[in-house]
Amino acid sequence: MQREEKQLEAALDSLLQRIGDLKMSIQSLIMKLECDSRLNWPSVLDSYAVISGQMNTLLKVMKNDKTPPLRNLICLPLMLNPDIDEELRQMTEDRIKSLSHEVTPDLLRTKPDPDVEQRTNQFEQRAMQVAPEPAQKQINALNKVVGHVLDQIQHSRDDWETEANVRAAASQTSNANDTHALIAAVGLGKNLKPIPISVPPQPGILIVFLQIITKFIISIVYQVQAGNFPSNKRNCKVQSLLYCWYHYQTAAAAAKSKKNSINFASQSSRKARRAADGAGARTTVSVSA
């Protein structure tokens, strides 16, 4: 008796583990179908393959020789209680909170509901009323349609695989890194060198100071020339100094203008000489001709 109980306990633990794995796979598939916006058909097929493998493993465990026949065992509640049972709630993951008179008949039912059973019997009777020959014709027509659909699916699958192979074999004409770098440069200005902006040089403090002093001295010279400056010994020295500065500025301006005129005259003479040389060359060519 104890041996059978141990075998039953081990079999139930194994079944619960397999059922838990199967439940997790089904939940994962439902989450993919409801929440994954990038879901594709190969991913769904992989999920179905996992579920199919887990179902086969569960059936193998149930058909194992060490597993006692579960159909010979009966599960009955020892007591019905409308109050919430925490242990039952944890075991069923909040699906069943208590074994009450409302829940127990549905949980222990071995047959469908009376309404469902009645509709099932009606469908079976309607199917039995069909003659064998029309039923066979309908079956053949349905098989023909299903076969045609399968052929179309297989043909489309072959075309898709061929296109995928052609795309994989084609040489790549772009570089993903370069594309991302170009987008970042255009959109965000990444890795772009700034254009240097030339700023005109500002005069130094000494030059500005000399310009101010020059303007001040020139204004004083104008005042002296106008006779607005008082005449005494100190002012005579200032006047002589200012006159010297004024004459220096005048001489410098005259020298600069003379230099410019000399440069202009030299350029004019060079142009005239070049013109004369060109005319002489043309005359020589005409005489020789």
Q: Which amino acid is at 25?
A: S
Co-location of 112 and 68 in the same domain = no
In this predicted structure, the answer to whether residue 25 has a pLDDT above a threshold of 90 is yes
Asked if residues 229 and 235 have their Cβ atoms less than 8 Å apart, the reply is yes
Are 4 and 56 in a shared domain?
yes
Whether the predicted pLDDT of 233 surpasses 50: no
The count of domains in the chain is 3
Do 146 and 152 touch, CB atoms closer than 8 A? no
- pLDDT-derived band at 216, boundaries 50, 70, 90: low
What pLDDT shows up at residue 71? Answer: 79
Stretch among 40-49, 143-152, 166-175 having the lowest mean pLDDT: 166-175
The pLDDT of residue 289 is 39
Q: Is residue 117 part of a domain?
A: yes
Contact 70, 59 (CB under 8 A): no
Q: Is the pTM of this model over 0.75?
A: no
Q: For the chain, what percent of residues have pLDDT higher than 90?
A: 17
Q: Which of 256, 221, 265 is nearest to 239 (CA)?
A: 221
Does residue 137 form part of some domain? Answer: no
Q: Which of 73, 90, 116 is the last residue of a domain?
A: 73
pLDDT of residue 272: 59
d(CA 211, CA 91): 99
Q: Is residue 33 part of a domain?
A: yes
Task: Give the pLDDT mean for 188-212.
Answer: 63
Whether residue 165 is contained in a domain is answered as: no
pLDDT band at 288 (very low <50, low <70, confident <90, very high): very low
- Asked if 68 and 25 sit in the same domain, the reply is yes
Specify whether 213 is located in the same domain as 263.
Answer: yes
Q: Which of 36, 56, 73 is the last residue of a domain?
A: 73
63 and 88: one domain? no
In this predicted structure, what is the pLDDT of residue 271?
60
pLDDT confidence of residue 282: 45
Q: Which residue has the higher pLDDT, 221 or 130?
A: 130
User: What pLDDT was estimated at residue 287?
Assistant: 36
DSSP conformational letter for 227: T
pLDDT for the residue 144: 94
Say if CB 15 and CB 54 are below 8 A apart. no
The more confident residue out of 24 and 208 is: 24
Residues 12 and 47 in one domain: yes
3-state class (DSSP) for residue 70:
helix
Stretch 5-30: mean pLDDT, rounded? 90
Q: Is pLDDT above 80 for 207? A: no
**Rounded Cα–Cα distance for residues 89 and 83 (Å):** 11
* 218 in a structural domain: yes
63 in the same domain as 36: yes
Q: 193: phi > 0 → left, psi -120 to 50 → alpha, else beta; which?
A: beta
* Residue 167 backbone zone (phi > 0: left; psi -120 to 50: alpha; other: beta): alpha
**What is the average pLDDT value for the chain, to the nearest integer?**
76
Q: What is the pLDDT of residue 283?
A: 43
* 191 inside domain: no
What is the CA 271 to chain-centroid distance, rounded? 70
Mean pLDDT, rounded, for 255-279:
58
Write out the H or E segment, with its range, that includes residue 152. helix 132-169
Burial of 266 (0-12, 13-18, 19+ CB in 10 A): exposed
Instruction: Dig out the tokens for 223 from the structure.
Output: 């005042």
92 occurs within a structural domain: yes
Looking at 198-232, list the stretches that DSSP marks H as alpha helix, in order from N- to C-terminal side. 205-226
In a domain, 266, yes or no: yes
Distances (CA, A) of 228 to 147, 238, 245: 123, 13, 18
Core vs surface per residue 111-148: b (16+ CB within 10 A) or e: eeeeeeeeeeeeeeeeeeeeeeeeeeeeeeeeeeeeee
pLDDT of residue 102: 84
pLDDT tens per residue across span 184-196: 888 777 777 777 6
Range of the domain at 81: 77-125
* Under 8 Å between Cβ of 96 and 89: yes
Local structure of 31: helix, strand or coil: helix
Helices (H), the chain: 2-35, 41-63, 86-91, 104-107, 114-129, 132-169, 176-188, 205-226, 233-288
Q: How many helices (H) and strands (E) does the chain have?
A: 9, 0
**Any idea what the CATH number is for the domain that residue 44 is in?**
1.20.58
Q: Which of 18-22, 90-94, 102-106, 203-207 has the lowest mean pLDDT?
A: 203-207
Q: Quick one: 251 and 233 in the same domain?
A: yes
Percent of the chain at pLDDT exceeding 70: 66
The encoded tokens of residue 264 equal 């202009």
Top-confidence residue, 75 or 160: 160
